[in-house]
C-alpha cells in the first residue's frame, strides 16, 4: 500500500485528539484545535454508523480490515478514501491511529495519494501561506489561472498578478483570511476573466480556497432564461390561440389570443378545463384524442365553445410531451376559422346567386328568384329597385314571413313609386353604398317624415340595413336593399362586401337581359324587314326579268343587253336568297330535306352549274370521287349550294390557266370529307379567322356580294352535323374541307 496522505489520532469515544498537517489542510481547518473533539466518523460523507462501529472495534484491539468511505471536503466536495488503523499500546485510555489513503477514480483497483486525487477534481484548489505565497495548487487551478503551477509555487499572488492589487478580488481574499470561519464570494479569473465562485477557509497556516468556474453555468442559465423569455413572448403575443394542458384535460395556461377567441379570462379557462371550452358533441373529438394518444400529436378541425355558449370552428395542432418527471403535458394551438367558414358560405351563396342570375334572360323573374335567395340567407327582407328613366320601379321584393305579404304589396304599389324614399335617392345620386349596422331610434324618427315608406319601415321593425347601388360601366341602374328585422343580427363590413358583389352581378345580369331583349327586338325587326325584302323586291325583279325575256324575243339586236339585265336580276335574287338563308342559319332554323345522295351526282350538278364560269375564266374545273365513298344522307339542294359557294369563290380568285378541283374521300373516323382546292393567290393569314363571319370581306374580295357565302357554307355544314376547315398558302392556293357524317341522324 502506498504511504497514507493524512493521519488522525482518536480516543476511546472515536473523537479526534490530534491530526497531521495534511489532514488539517485537506479539511481547510485553521489549526488542529478546530478538529479536536469532533467525531471522526462525522468527517465522512456516508457510512458513518458502520465507520463508528469500525472505530469502536479498532479501539477494543480487534484487527480490522480496511474500510472504504468518502471524506467530506469543503465546498461540497468529497473524495473516496481507504481507512486503515492500529491501536496504540500502553496503559491508560485506549487510543488508535487512523490512516487515510485516497483511492483512484477506478475505485478499488488501487489507491493513490490524496494530492493525486485532488488533481482530478474539476474545481481548483489553491492554498496560500500567511505571506500570500502559493503553497499548493491542483491541476484544475492551472486551467483557472492560465499558468502552470510550477511557475507559481512559492510566489506571492500580488507579485504574480499585480493587476489584482486594488481590485475587489484582493479585498475579498484579505477579508476571508482575516475572518474566523469560511466565506464565499465571486471574483474574475486574472487571466481567463471567467466568473469564479470562491469558498475560502482560513487557518493558522494561511488560506485554502476552492474555486469553481460558473461562467458556463451562468451563460447556460442566461440562455435558458432568454429562451424562456422568447417562448413566453411567442406564447403571449401569438395571434393563434394556445393552451397548455394535462393529458387528463386540465388546462394550466392560456395565452391572450385564446382568451379573446373564447371570450374568457385565463383563470376562467383554467377553471373550465377541456370539457368547458371544447364542444364535446363534436364527433371528431374522440378521434382527435385517440390519434394524439397513439402518435403523440394530432392536427385537424374542431369546434370550441365561447363563454356565451356559441361555438366556432378552429384549425388546431396538438402535441403530447414530457413535463416534470412523471408528468405528461399537452399543447393545443388553434386558429379561428369563423371568418374562413363565413367566406366559404358567402362564396357558395354568390355561386348559387350567379346560377339564378344566369338561368334566364327574363330579368324580372330572375330578380324575384334572386331576392328569394337573399332571404333568408343574408336578410329578412330584400328588394330590388330599378331606375327607368326618371322613375324608380320596384322589380322584386321578398320577406321571410308570409305575414308580411300586405306590406310587400304596398311596397310594390304605385304609391311607393310616386314617393321614392330619400335614402334610396341618395344612394342613386352618390353611387355609394349605405351600411346601417344597427337601426337606432333617431333613424326611426327620421322615417316618420318619409310618408308611406316611413310607415312601412316602422311596421317592418328593421334591425340593420344595407343599400347598395347596382352599377354597370359607372352608370347606376338600380338599388339592392337588404334588411334584418326584429331580433335579427346586425350587419358588418363583410356583409356589405357580399352585398356589393351581389349587386354587381345583378346589375350585369340586368344589363345583359336588356341587351338580349334589344337584340331579340332588333332580330325581329330584321326578320320583318327580310320578309318585306323577299316579297316586295322579288316580285318587281321577277316582273323585270319576264319583261326582259319577252323583249329579247322581239328585238334580236338587243339580246346582249337583255342578257346583262337578266344576269343582274339573277344576282339580285341570289343576294336576297343569301340574306334569307343566313338569317335562318343564325336562328338555327335552317330546314333540311334529307335524302340518300351519291357524291358523284352532287359533284356533277356543281360542275354543270359552274362550267360556264370556269370556261369564261379559263380555269380548269374537275371533280374526283375516291374509292368506297358511301352515299350521304343530306339535303341535295343545300349541299349543292354549299359546294357551289366554295367553287364560285375559288373561280373568282384563281387566275387564267389555273385549276379548281372537287374531291371526296373517307377519313380515319369513317366520315366523308368533301374538298374544294384551287391554285389561286391564297388567303392572308390575318384573314383566315374571319372567313366565316357574316358580312365580312377580305382585303382581296371583290365587292360584288354581301359577304355571306362562306357563312352560309359553315351554317349548312353544321346543320348536317359536320364542320368546315380551311388551309391556305399565299401564292399557292387554298383548300376548303367539309366533313359530313355518314351516320343517319
| Residue 469's pLDDT band (cuts 50, 70, 90) | very high
Return the CATH number of 6-102, one of 3.10.110.10, 3.30.450.20, 3.40.50.12780, 3.90.230.10.
Answer: 3.30.450.20
Homologous superfamily of domain range 114-217? PAS domain (3.30.450.20)
Which of residues 124 and 389 earns the better pLDDT score? 124
Closest CA to 198 of 167, 229, 176, 227: 176
Set of cell numbers at residue 58:
479498532
Q: In which residue are the cell numbers 324580372 written? A: 364
pLDDT of residue 580: 66
pLDDT of residue 123: 81
Distances (CA, A) of 10 to 14, 28, 257, 315, 570: 5, 19, 71, 75, 150
Q: CATH topology of 114-217 equal to that of 238-341?
A: yes
Predicted confidence (pLDDT) at residue 725 exceeds the cutoff of 90: yes
Predicted confidence (pLDDT) at residue 490 exceeds the cutoff of 90: no
Residues in CB range of 435: below 8 A, 6 or more apart: 465, 466, 491, 493, 495, 496
Distances (CA, A) of 225 to 145, 186, 215, 216, 616: 29, 21, 15, 14, 105
Which has the minimum average pLDDT: 414-418, 434-438, 707-711? 414-418
Query: What is the rounded average pLDDT for all residues in the chain?
Result: 81
Looking at the chain, how many residues does it have? Answer: 745
Give the separation between CA 423 and CA 467, rounded to whole angstroms. 9
Predicted confidence (pLDDT) at residue 483 exceeds the cutoff of 70: yes
pLDDT of residue 527: 67
Q: Report the number of secondary-structure helices (H) and strands (E) in the chain.
A: 24, 28
Q: How far does CA 318 lie from the centroid of its chain?
A: 20
Which of residues 505 and 446 earns the better pLDDT score? 505
Residues in CB range of 494: below 8 A, 6 or more apart: 339, 342, 346
Architecture of domain 359-518: 2-Layer Sandwich (3.30)
pLDDT of residue 108: 42
Of the spans 20-34, 313-327, 415-429, which averages the highest pLDDT?
313-327
3-state secondary structure at position 694: coil
Domain 238-341 sits in CATH 3.30.450.20: yes
Tell me the CATH number for domain 590-740.
Answer: 3.30.565.10
Q: What are the pLDDT digits (tens) for 604-623?
A: 999 998 888 899 899 999 99
Which has the minimum average pLDDT: 274-283, 424-433, 510-519? 510-519
Helix 709-719 × helix 636-652 angle, to 10°: 150
Q: What are the pLDDT digits (tens) for 664-687?
A: 999 888 899 999 999 998 888 888
Q: Is the dihedral of CA 588, 651, 607, 728 positive or negative?
A: negative
pLDDT of residue 304: 92
- DSSP structure string for 437-473: SS--HHHHHHHTTSHHHHHHHHHH-EEEEEEEEEEET
For the chain, the domains span 6-102, 114-217, 238-341, 359-518, 590-740
Q: Do 603 and 614 meet the contact criterion of CB atoms below 8 Å apart?
A: no
pLDDT of residue 409: 72
Q: What are the pLDDT digits (tens) for 527-536?
A: 667 666 666 6
pLDDT of residue 110: 46
Which of residues 519 and 588 earns the better pLDDT score? 519
Amino acid at each position: 500500500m502506498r504511504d497514507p496522505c493524512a493521519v488522525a489520532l482518536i480516543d476511546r469515544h472515536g473523537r479526534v485528539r490530534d491530526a497531521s498537517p495534511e489532514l488539517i489542510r485537506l479539511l481547510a481547518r485553521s489549526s488542529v484545535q478546530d478538529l479536536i473533539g469532533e467525531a471522526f466518523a462525522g468527517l465522512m460523507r456516508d457510512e458513518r454508523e458502520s465507520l463508528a462501529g469500525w472505530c469502536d472495534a479498532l479501539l477494543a484491539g480487534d484487527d480490522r480490515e480496511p474500510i472504504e468511505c468518502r471524506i467530506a471536503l469543503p465546498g461540497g466536495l468529497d473524495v473516496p478514501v481507504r481507512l486503515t488503523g492500529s491501536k496504540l499500546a500502553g496503559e491508560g485510555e485506549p487510543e488508535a491511529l487512523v490512516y487515510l489513503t485516497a483511492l483512484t477514480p477506478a475505485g478499488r483497483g488501487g489507491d493513490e495519494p490524496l494530492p493525486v486525487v485532488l488533481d482530478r477534481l474539476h474545481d481548483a484548489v489553491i492554498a496560500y501561506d500567511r505571506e500570500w505565497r502559493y503553497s499548493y495548487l491542483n491541476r484544475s487551478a492551472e486551467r483557472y489561472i492560465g499558468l502552470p503551477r510550477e511557475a507559481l509555487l512559492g510566489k506571492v499572488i500580488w507579485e504574480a498578478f499585480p493587476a489584482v492589487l486594488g481590485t475587489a478580488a484582493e479585498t475579498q481574499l484579505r477579508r476571508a483570511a482575516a475572518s474566523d470561519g469560511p466565506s464565499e464570494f465571486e471574483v474574475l479569473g486574472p487571466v481567463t476573466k471567467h466568473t469564479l465562485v470562491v469558498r475560502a477557509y482560513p487557518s493558522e497556516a494561511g488560506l485554502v480556497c476552492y474555486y469553481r468556474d460558473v461562467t458556463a453555468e451562468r451563460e447556460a442559465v442566461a440562455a435558458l432564461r432568454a429562451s424562456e423569455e422568447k417562448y413566453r413572448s411567442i406564447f403571449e403575443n401569438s395571434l393563434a390561440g394556445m393552451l397548455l394542458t394535462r393529458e387528463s384535460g386540465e388546462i394550466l395556461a392560456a395565452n391572450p389570443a385564446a382568451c379573446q377567441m373564447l371570450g374568457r379570462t385565463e383563470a376562467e379557462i383554467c377553471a373550465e378545463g377541456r370539457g368547458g371550452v371544447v364542444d364535446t358533441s363534436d364527433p371528431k373529438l374522440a378521434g382527435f384524442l385517440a390519434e394524439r394518444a397513439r402518435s403523440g400529436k394530432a392536427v385537424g378541425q374542431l369546434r370550441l365553445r365561447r363563454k356565451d355558449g356559441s361555438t366556432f370552428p378552429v384549425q388546431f395542432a396538438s402535441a403530447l410531451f414530457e413535463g416534470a418527471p412523471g408528468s405528461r403535458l399537452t399543447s393545443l394551438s388553434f386558429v379561428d376559422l369563423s371568418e374562413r367558414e363565413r367566406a366559404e358560405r358567402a362564396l357558395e351563396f354568390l355561386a348559387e346567386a350567379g346560377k339564378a342570375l344566369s338561368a334566364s334572360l327574363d330579368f324580372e323573374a330572375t330578380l324575384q328568384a334572386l331576392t328569394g335567395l337573399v332571404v333568408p340567407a343574408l336578410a329578412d327582407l330584400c328588394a330590388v329597385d330599378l331606375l327607368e328613366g326618371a322613375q324608380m320601379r320596384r322589380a322584386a321584393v321578398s320577406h321571410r314571413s308570409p305575414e308580411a305579404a300586405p306590406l310587400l304589396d304596398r311596397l310594390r304599389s304605385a304609391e311607393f313609386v310616386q314617393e321614392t324614399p330619400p335614402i334610396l335617392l341618395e344612394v342613386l345620386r352618390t353611387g355609394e353604398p349605405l351600411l346601417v349596422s344597427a337601426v337606432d331610434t333617431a333613424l326611426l324618427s327620421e322615417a316618420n317624415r318619409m310618408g308611406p315608406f316611413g310607415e312601412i319601415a316602422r311596421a317592418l321593425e328593421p334591425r340593420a340595413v344595407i343599400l347598395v347601388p347596382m352599377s354597370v360601366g359607372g352608370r347606376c341602374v338600380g338599388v339592392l336593399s337588404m334588411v334584418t328585422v326584429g331580433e335579427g343580427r346586425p350587419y358588418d363590413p363583410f356583409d356589405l362586401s357580399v352585398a356589393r358583389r351581389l349587386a354587381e352581378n345583378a346589375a350585369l345580369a340586368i344589363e345583359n337581359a336588356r341587351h338580349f331583349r334589344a337584340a331579340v327586338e332588333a332580330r325581329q325587326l330584321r326578320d320583318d324587314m327580310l320578309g318585306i325584302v323577299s316579297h316586295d323586291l322579288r316580285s318587281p325583279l321577277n316582273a323585270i326579268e319576264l319583261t326582259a325575256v319577252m323583249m329579247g324575243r322581239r328585238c334580236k339586236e338587243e339580246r346582249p343587253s337583255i342578257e346583262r339585265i337578266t344576269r343582274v336580276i339573277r344576282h339580285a335574287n341570289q343576294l336576297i336568297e343569301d340574306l334569307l338563308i343566313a338569317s335562318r342559319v343564325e336562328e338555327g332554323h335552317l330546314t333540311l330535306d334529307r335524302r340518300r345522295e351519291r357524291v358523284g351526282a352532287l359533284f356533277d350538278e356543281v360542275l354543270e352549274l359552274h362550267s360556264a364560269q370556269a370556261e369564261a375564266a379559263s380555269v380548269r374545273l374537275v371533280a374526283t370521287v375516291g374509292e368506297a365513298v358511301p352515299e350521304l344522307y343530306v339535303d341535295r339542294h343545300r349541299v349543292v349550294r354549299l359546294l357551289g359557294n366554295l367553287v364560285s369563290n375559288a373561280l373568282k380568285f384563281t387566275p387564267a390557266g389555273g385549276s379548281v378541283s372537287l374531291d371526296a374521300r373517307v377519313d380515319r373516323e369513317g366520315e366523308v370529307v368533301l374538298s374544294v382546292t384551287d391554285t389561286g393567290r391564297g388567303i392572308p393569314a390575318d384573314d383566315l379567322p374571319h372567313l366565316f363571319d357574316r358580312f365580312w370581306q377580305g382585303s382581296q374580295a371583290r365587292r360584288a356580294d354581301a359577304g355571306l357565302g362562306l357563312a352560309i357554307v359553315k351554317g349548312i355544314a353544321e346543320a348536317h352535323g359536320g364542320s368546315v376547315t380551311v388551309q391556305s398558302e399565299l401564292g399557292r392556293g387554298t383548300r376548303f374541307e367539309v366533313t359530313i357524317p355518314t351516320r343517319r341522324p
